[in-house]
Amino acid sequence: MKLEIGRIYIKDIQLGKETSVIDGVLTVDKQGLIDNLKEDGRIKDILIDVARPGEKVRIIPVKDVIEPRVKIQGGNNGFPGVTSKQAQCGEGRTHVLYGAAVVTVGDIVGFQEGVVDMWGEGAKWTPFSKTYNLTVDIQVVAGLDPHTHEETVRIAGLRASEFIGLAGENVTPDEVLTFEIGSMFEETTKYPDLPKVIYAEMNITQGLLHDTYIYGVNQSGILPALLHANEEIDNAVISGNCVAACDKITTYQHQNNSVIYDLYAQHGKEINFLGVIMVPEHTTLAGKVRASDYTVKLAKMLGADGVVVSEEGYGNPDSDLLMICKKCERNGIKTVLITDECAGRDGLSQPLSDTAVEAVAVISGGNVSHVVTLLPADKVIGNAAAIAVLSGGWEGSLLEDGSMMCELNAVIGATSEIGFHNVTCRLY
C-alpha cells in the first residue's frame, strides 16, 4: 500500500461566511457548518468557537478531537463505514489541515471527559494546546439514552471535520509525506537481515461508553485484527470512548498515531515494520486470555522478532498488557511496552495493577494521579463546573477565583500511551 498525506499548514482559524484556506488561514462558514450538523434531528443546538494557542481559553468537557481531512485519490472521503460508504483506507492521497483540530464539547455522558487549556500550566500537559481548535459545543434533544447521546456527539465531530476538511481539496500542500509498505513477503525479501517488528495497539472496548471502532465496527465484538499501518493513519479507526482523558486515544491521535510514525521512520533502516494488530481490551478474564492468545498467535504467524505494545487506559487493562508481554516473551518474541502509571499523588504507589518478570522494557507516559493547578481562564468554552464530575476532578476542584485543581486524569492526552503528548523523560 502507498499513501500520500499532504499537509496544508494552518496558522489561524477565522469564522466567516465561506469555508476556505488562503495563505494558511482556515476560514469556516459558521452558519453553514451549524446547518449541516443540525440535519441530524437528535441535535438541538450547536455553538461554534475558536481557541488559539496562547489564548487564556479553557475548553471543558472535551469529548473528542479530530483532524480535518479530505480524500483526494483512492477510497472514500470521510470515515468509511461511519460517515461514508465502506471503502479501503490507506491508499491514494489525503490532504490534511495540519495544525487545525475539531474539538467536540457537550454535556457529560459518562464521567470521564477532559479539559484543554490553551495557555499556562495546563497547556504544558496537553498536545492540543498547540493546535488551532474549532470547538463544536453540542446540545442534544432531551430524552436520548447515554449511548445514543454519545453517538450523536461523536458523529457530529466527524462530520464537522469532513465539512471543514473539504477546504483543502484544491490547495497545494506545504509538505507531502509518503507511507509505503508492500506485502510482508516483499518487505522481507528487501530486508532479510532486519528484525521483523509488529505493533500491537490495545484499544478500550469495554462497553459502558468505552468503545473503539474500526471501519465503523465496534472492536469489542471482533478478534484482534491485523491492519496495514496506513489504514489507521487514514481514518479507519475512530474513538468512541469516555475513558480517562489523560490516556484516551482521540480520533486525532489515531489519525496521527505517533508509534506508527516512529516505526515507519525506522522501516528499512533498523527494522522491518510488518503492520498493526488492533487488540480489544475486555473486562472478562476469558476475553483477556482470548485476545492475548490471538495477538501472540498472529505475531508468531507473521514471524515477528519483536512487538511494541501500547495500552489504552489503566487498571484492569494492565492485565491485558502483561498477558501479551508474558506470552510473547515466552515464545521468543522481544516485547516493548508503552503504558502510564497510576502511582498515587505522591508517585509512590504500585504504578500498574499487574506485573511480570518478563516486562523488562517498559516506557511510561507519566503518572495519571499527579495533581496540577490550572490558572483562571479569561474565557471558558463549555462548562467549567464539569470538572467536579470528570475523572481526576472532584467536588471543590473549581476554586472561587476560577482556577482548577485536578489530577492529570482530567487533561486530554496528558499521559498518552502512544507517546502523543508533551511529557519527556530524563535518564540518570
Q: Which residues are catalytic?
A: 242
Residue whose C-alpha cell reads 484556506 in the numeric block: 21
Alpha-carbon distance 90 to 98, whole Å? 18
**CB-hemisphere CA count at 13 Å for 361?**
14
Alpha helices by DSSP H, listed for 16-145, are 30-37, 120-123
Neighbours of 265 (CB within 10 A): 12
Give which of 376, 301, 364, 339 is closest to 120, Cα–Cα: 376
User: Nearest 5°: phi and psi at 20?
Assistant: -160, 165
- Amino acid (one-letter) located at 415: T
What is the helix (H) or strand (E) element at residue 293, kind and residue range? Answer: helix 285-301
Q: H/E element holding 258? A: helix 258-266
- Please tell me what DSSP assigns to residue 84: B
Burial class (CB in 10 A: 0-12, 13-18, 19+), 371: middle
* Adjacent-strand bridge partners of 21: 26
> Measuring CA to CA, which residue among 259, 155, 242, 156 is closest to residue 202?
259
C-alpha closest to that of 254 among 369, 124, 150, 158: 158
Q: Tell me, what DSSP letter sits at residue 106?
A: E
Question: If you write DSSP's letter for every residue of 348-416 in order, what string do you get?
Answer: -S-SSS---TT--SEEEEEETT-EEEEPPPSEEEE-GGGGGGSBTB-TT-B-TTS-EEEEGGGBTTTT-
